[in-house]
Homo-oligomer: A and B are copies of this chain.
Amino acid sequence: MATSDFQQLLRESALRVTRPRLAVLGAVHSHPHADTDAIIRATREELPDVSHQAVYDVLRALTDAGLVRRIQPAGSVARYEARVADNHHHVVCRSCGAIEDVDCAVGAAPCLHPSGRHGFVVDEAEVVYWGLCPDCSAAGSEPATTSRGRA
């Protein structure tokens, strides 16, 4: 995706087009499921002097605008992805924290009938599959080198 596309995305969401925003948007698009720190580093490859605060602000703005999605499996720091509004879910590795996309198992719309439960007005069903990624699974119960644990 080109810079001009990102510019358009921003404008369509009534967001000002700034260099930090373009850089962060690019970073999120090229690093799916990256955590904030990784995004800061990726952003700085393009724009060496962005402050971490700017990245936090931008991620919040982009999330609020729906241009990126924030995901945060239990025990993990915040992560961001660019796939939005297509109702997919995630598998998370208990051992190394790796995340992969999983398309909705049951159908298009929210996978489970989410309405009228206990009087709650439900607008989204989020599914997280927990398990072991191929690497950690192959490594048996040996601690993975990338180990992060779950809690």
Contact = CB atoms under 8 A, between A and B. Distances in A.
Interface residues of A, number: 38
A104 B124 CA distance: 16
Given A72-B75, A111-B112, A102 B126 contact: no
Contacts of A117: 91, 100, 102, 129
Nearest to A138: B119
A119 to B, nearest CB: 4
Nearest to A137: B121
A123 interface: yes
Contact of A112 (B106, B126, B132): B106
Contacts of A125: 127-130
A126 B124 contact: no
B120 A91 contact: yes
A125 B128 CA distance: 6
Interface in A53-98: 60, 63, 70-72, 74-75, 78, 91, 93
Given A60-B151, A74-B71, A114 B129 contact: yes
A122 to B, nearest CB: 4
A120 B105 contact: no
A127 B118 CA distance: 16
Contacts of A122: 91, 129-131
Interface of A: 60, 63, 70-72, 74-75, 78, 91, 93, 100, 102, 105-106, 111-114, 117-134, 137, 151
